[in-house]
Amino acid sequence: PYRVGINQNLFLEASLHSSDPSLELFLDTCVASPTRHNFTTRSYPIIKNGCVKDPTYSTYYSPSKHILRFKFSAFQFIQSNPEVYLQCELVVCRAYDYSSRCYQGCLQRSKREASS
């Protein structure tokens, strides 16, 4: 557990423990939930499919492609206990592989047209 006040910046770092310099990390999805067991029904997306969803999210300089640093403002779910759980999905790619998920960035899902 990590305690932080509402609207204070929450700083996070993810790292890949590998000696292979040709690997890098990409933050694909990061979702907050009021419970540790359900990240679908009452969840709040911070990053989804590589797209920033929370306006307080920002990244920070990292000295290595093995490390991701980012922050967002702490919040609380309304009518819920004061705990917020975070689940993030990261992708490991070959550095400089421009066809990899790491270089695709934000993947906007196109909406389908409803048929008559």
Q: Write down the pLDDT at residue 106.
A: 92
Is residue 108 situated within a structural domain?
no
Is residue 24 situated within a structural domain?
yes
Residue among 55, 74, 65, 51 at smallest CA distance from 97? 65
Q: Write down the pLDDT at residue 67.
A: 93
Q: Provide the CATH number for the domain around residue 69.
A: 2.60.40.4100
* Structural domain total, the chain: 1
Is residue 86 situated within a structural domain?
yes
Is residue 30 situated within a structural domain?
yes
Q: Write down the pLDDT at residue 112.
A: 56
Q: Write down the pLDDT at residue 35.
A: 85
Q: What is the DSSP string of 59-100?
A: EE--SSTTEEEEEEE----TTS-S--EEEEEEEEEETT-TTS
Q: Write down the pLDDT at residue 49.
A: 95
Is residue 112 situated within a structural domain?
no
Give this prediction's pTM.
0.81
Q: Which domain holds residue 79?
A: 8-96
End-to-end CA distance of the chain: 51
Q: Write down the pLDDT at residue 20.
A: 92
Q: Write down the pLDDT at residue 113.
A: 56
The low-confidence residues of the chain, meaning pLDDT below 50, are 116
Q: Write down the pLDDT at residue 111.
A: 55
